[in-house]
Structure formats: structure tokens, C-alpha cells
């Protein structure tokens, strides 16, 4: 479960071309299944450096991607490495492993990374019928949703095996096929230094998508290469990003909306700013309370606040205190608005805040919140 960020207004604040090499060793069979605790990867840590690094002038952008997980031990250790070096990544996960280890995909998202689709059982899609192609990606998506994460629309065909037919089926099903520009060949051979060397030699100015694995036999060695890649690439002027909606190095820009629950006069309302999906970076909006029949400065605090949602979280909650004036009045209204988005796209920018008369019961408040469009008169206790 994602933890909310809570602010108090009353306190005052102002397409990349694929390489020619395929992915022949990326089978999910016989992968390392060493014991490990996913709880070790549960802390999101600081993400400020990551966001700033992604926006400064760069020689090129590097998107680290990892296939075939999640795997206990290996994926958990990889998350620690990425957190230590403050870089984002995209994980193309296998559906049946998601079903076995839902806590690991939750840890991936909680650490601010993107979760993408690598089919249910690592099938070669060019050898499957249209119906089977749809079934394997939709099954993986459902497993991710059941695990409580927000999967992207990105899908990587196992082995890089794709043709015009498979691409057409995936696109019509609402998915975006993603390959890579640098193949680490970590599944095949090489020490950690050799794997890092292959990646670093492949970097070019502009976009770079790196293929590694966290779910094959040699994945622990590949994880050992990550720190070297990050340190040396940064020294050479490269920046690290996730993948955008089209599978290019960058970041997703999810929709954001605001909702607010009805509140009894004199109590505190809660506005929720919610992302439609994971952004893979820090995001924020400006939140403003505006007068209606309830007046800002009298019934409500006059505040405009910047609301930040760190990478790895999908919502923030903002407390809005109201003032009791001792007068029995009908329902009063104000509005809560969000604008000036950073890293997000405004979808629902305004919510109505209803201030109910003193004495309104909890049942009546719930009824009011559940059916805001129907005619309703509160029962006032005198």
C-alpha cells in the first residue's frame, strides 16, 4: 500500500532503434531464487537528486531496464543499488512471477520505478496466435493490478521477438512495444566489469535503452555491474531516466485530479490529489482554496500551497480546517483547485468542498459524499 503525503493548509505555506542481438537467454526457467526479504527494499529514500539530474543538460539519456523478474533476493538487492545511486529504472516483469511475489512488484513501484509487461510466461510472441498474444499480456496486466500496482502500457516481447503482426496486435490491445538499443548480454557470459564495459561502450549521445535482467541465472552478476555503469556514465555527462509513454528515455506524465470529502463546520476537510499512474519521478501541483458561499478568510484559510507527490507514491492528502461560527446555516460551498502541474497532466482540476451544518451525523456525511448530485437536506441536531 502506498503511503500518503499529508499537508496542513491551516499551518501556512506558500522510438529507439533495437540492436540486432536478440534475447536468447532470457528464459524464466532455472532462475536464481535465493532467499531475501522484500522489506529491505521498502524505503523510497530521497528522490530529489534524481529529478534534478533528469532535467539538467545531459550528453545523453540512459534508461536502465530489467527483464524477467521479480525474483526474491536479486530484485531486492537491485532495488537497494538503484536507491543508493538515486537512479530510476523500468522493470519488465513476468506475470507468473508477479503472481508468486506480489510484494516485490509493490516494492519496485514503492521505490519510484516503473512496472511494465514481459508477458505471462516469457512466450515467444511470433510463435503465438493473435488470441494468445492478447491473453498473455492482459493476464500479466491483471496480475499487476491484483498486486496493487499501476502497470504502464509498455510491453517488451521476450527475446525481442516481434514482427508486424505481433506489433499490430499489441498496439490494438492498447500496449506499446519496447525493445532496446544496448544489449548487455548479461544472460550469456562475462564478469560484472565486462557487462558494465559492454553497456558503457554502447552509450551514444541522445537516447539509450539498456537491456539487463533481474530474473535469470546470471542476474546477480549483472546487478553487480549497475553501480559501475551509473558512476562512469554520470562522469561522462549522461543522465538516467525511466521510459516515457512511448517507450523512449524520459518519464511518464500521468493524469492528476483532486477530490475532497464533505465536512461538518468546524472540522477539518481532506483534499486528495491523486495520480492516475506512477510517474517514476517527483511531481507536484499548486492547490488553491477559493470562495463560494463559504468565504475564504472567514470560513476557510486563505492559502495556496504547492503539493508534492514523491516518486513511488500516487497521492497526497491536504488538510483544510474550517471555522465554526455558531450559526445554523444551510450547506456552504467552496472550491479546491489544482493548477501549475509539474510532471503531471491536469485531468480533474476542481473539486467542490461542501461544509455541512453542525450536528450532521456521520451517516448523513457518508450519504452526502456517496451521492453528491442528489437533492439532500441535512438533519440538524438542536
Residues 6+ apart with CB under 8 A from 81: 223, 226, 227
Q: What three-state secondary structure class fits 308?
A: strand
Please tell me the predicted confidence (pLDDT) of residue 293: 87
Q: Which of 67, 86, 183, 299 is catalytic?
A: 67
Instruction: List pLDDT tens digits, range 282-295.
Output: 999 999 999 888 88
Asked whether 117 and 141 are in contact (CB, 8 A), the reply is: yes
Bridge partners, residue 116, by sequence: 92
Strands 332-342 and 350-356, sheet pairing: antiparallel
* Residue predicted with more confidence, 76 or 325: 76
Please tell me the predicted confidence (pLDDT) of residue 364: 54
Average pLDDT over residues 373-381: 32
Whether the bond into 70 is cis, omega within 30 of 0 = yes
Please tell me the predicted confidence (pLDDT) of residue 14: 28
Residues 6+ apart with CB under 8 A from 259: 271, 272, 274, 348, 351
Scanning the structure block, which residue is given the C-alpha cell 453528491?
372
Closest Cα partner for 118 from 82, 161, 67? Answer: 67
| Percent share of the chain, pLDDT over 70 | 79
Task: For residue 56, name the pLDDT band (cuts at 50, 70, 90).
Answer: low
Average pLDDT over residues 331-342: 92
Alpha-carbon span 355 to 293, nearest angstrom = 10
Judge whether residue 51 has pLDDT over 60: no
Average pLDDT over residues 314-332: 84
Q: Is 213 a catalytic residue?
A: yes
pTM, entire model: 0.75
Closest Cα partner for 71 from 258, 222, 203, 278? Answer: 222
* Residue predicted with more confidence, 27 or 193: 193
Instruction: List pLDDT tens digits, range 179-228.
Output: 999 999 999 999 999 999 999 999 999 999 999 999 999 999 999 999 99
Instruction: List pLDDT tens digits, range 111-169.
Output: 999 999 999 999 999 999 999 999 999 999 999 999 999 899 999 999 999 999 999 99
Judge whether residue 357 has pLDDT over 60: yes
Q: Is 67 a catalytic residue?
A: yes
Q: Quote the mean pLDDT of the chain.
A: 82
Average pLDDT over residues 244-249: 95
Judge whether residue 50 has pLDDT over 50: no
Please tell me the predicted confidence (pLDDT) of residue 161: 97
Alpha-carbon span 259 to 349, nearest angstrom = 9
Phi (first) and psi of residue 347, to 5 degrees: -110, -50
Describe the strand order of the beta sheet including 268-275 as a list of residue ranges. 5-8, 315-321, 268-275, 255-260, 345-348
Q: Burial-class residue 236 by CB neighbours within 10 Å (0-12, 13-18, 19+).
A: exposed
Torsion of CA 337, 340, 346, 348, to 10 degrees: 0
Judge whether residue 267 has pLDDT over 60: yes
Bridge partners, residue 110, by sequence: none
Q: Which of 118, 213, 244, 299 is catalytic?
A: 213
Residues 6+ apart with CB under 8 A from 194: none
Alpha-carbon span 152 to 330, nearest angstrom = 45
* Residue predicted with more confidence, 303 or 119: 119
Instruction: List pLDDT tens digits, range 65-98.
Output: 999 999 999 999 999 999 999 999 999 999 999 9
CA 309 to the chain's CA centroid: 11
Task: For residue 18, name the pLDDT band (cuts at 50, 70, 90).
Answer: very low
Task: For residue 302, name the pLDDT band (cuts at 50, 70, 90).
Answer: confident
Please tell me the predicted confidence (pLDDT) of residue 328: 66
Structural domains present in the chain: 16-250 (3.20.20.370), 255-370 (2.60.40.2030)
List, in sequence order, the alpha helices (H) in 112-237.
130-147, 164-172, 192-202, 219-235
Amino acid at each position: 500500500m502506498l503511503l500518503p503525503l499529508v499537508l496542513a493548509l491551516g499551518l501556512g505555506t506558500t522510438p529507439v532503434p533495437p540492436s540486432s542481438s536478440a534475447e536468447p537467454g532470457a528464459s524464466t526457467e532455472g532462475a536464481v531464487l535465493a532467499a531475501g526479504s522484500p522489506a529491505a527494499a521498502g524505503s523510497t529514500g530521497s528522490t530529489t537528486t534524481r529529478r534534478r539530474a533528469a532535467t539538467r543538460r545531459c550528453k545523453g539519456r540512459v534508461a536502465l531496464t530489467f527483464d524477467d523478474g521479480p525474483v526474491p533476493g536479486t530484485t531486492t538487492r537491485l532495488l537497494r543499488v538503484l536507491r543508493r545511486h538515486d537512479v530510476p529504472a523500468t522493470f519488465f516483469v513476468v506475470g507468473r512471477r508477479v503472481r508468486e511475489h506480489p510484494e516485490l512488484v509493490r516494492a519496485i513501484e514503492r521505490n519510484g520505478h516503473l512496472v511494465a509487461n514481459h508477458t505471462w510466461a516469457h512466450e515467444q510472441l511470433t510463435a503465438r496466435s493473435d488470441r494468445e498474444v492478447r491473453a498473455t499480456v492482459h493476464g500479466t496486466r491483471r496480475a499487476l493490478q491484483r498486486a496493487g500496482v499501476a502497470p504502464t502500457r509498455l510491453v517488451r516481447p521476450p527475446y525481442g521477438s516481434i514482427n508486424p503482426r505481433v506489433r499490430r496486435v499489441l498496439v490494438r490491445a492498447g500496449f506499446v512495444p519496447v525493445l532496446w538499443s544496448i544489449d548487455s548480454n548479461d544472460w550469456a557470459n562475462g564478469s560484472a566489469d565486462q557487462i558494465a564495459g559492454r553497456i558503457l561502450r554502447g552509450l551514444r549521445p541522445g537516447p539509450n535503452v539498456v537491456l539487463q535482467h533481474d530474473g535469470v541465472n546470471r542476474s546477480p552478476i549483472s546487478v553487480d555491474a549497475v553501480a559501475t555503469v551509473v558512476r562512469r556514465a554520470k562522469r561522462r555527462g549522461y543522465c538516467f531516466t525511466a521510459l516515457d509513454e512511448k517507450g523512449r528515455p524520459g518519464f511518464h506524465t500521468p493524469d492528476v485530479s483532486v477530490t475532497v470529502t464533505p465536512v461538518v463546520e468546524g472540522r477539518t476537510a481532506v483534499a486528495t490529489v491523486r495520480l492516475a499512474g506512477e510517474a517514476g519521478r517527483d511531481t507536484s501541483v499548486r492547490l488553491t482554496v477559493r470562495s463560494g458561499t463559504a468565504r475564504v478568510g472567514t470560513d476557510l484559510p486563505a492559502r495556496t500551497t504547492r503539493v508534492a507527490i514523491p516518486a513511488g507514491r500516487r497521492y497526497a492528502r491536504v488538510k483544510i480546517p474550517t471555522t465554526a461560527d455558531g450559526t445554523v446555516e444551510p450547506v456552504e460551498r467552496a472550491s479546491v483547485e489544482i493548477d501549475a502541474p509539474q510532471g503531471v497532466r491536469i485531468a480533474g482540476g476542481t473539486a467542490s468542498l461542501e461544509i455541512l451544518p453542525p450536528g450532521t451525523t456521520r451517516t448523513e456525511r457518508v450519504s452526502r459524499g456517496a451521492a453528491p448530485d442528489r437533492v439532500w437536506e441535512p438533519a440538524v441536531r438542536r
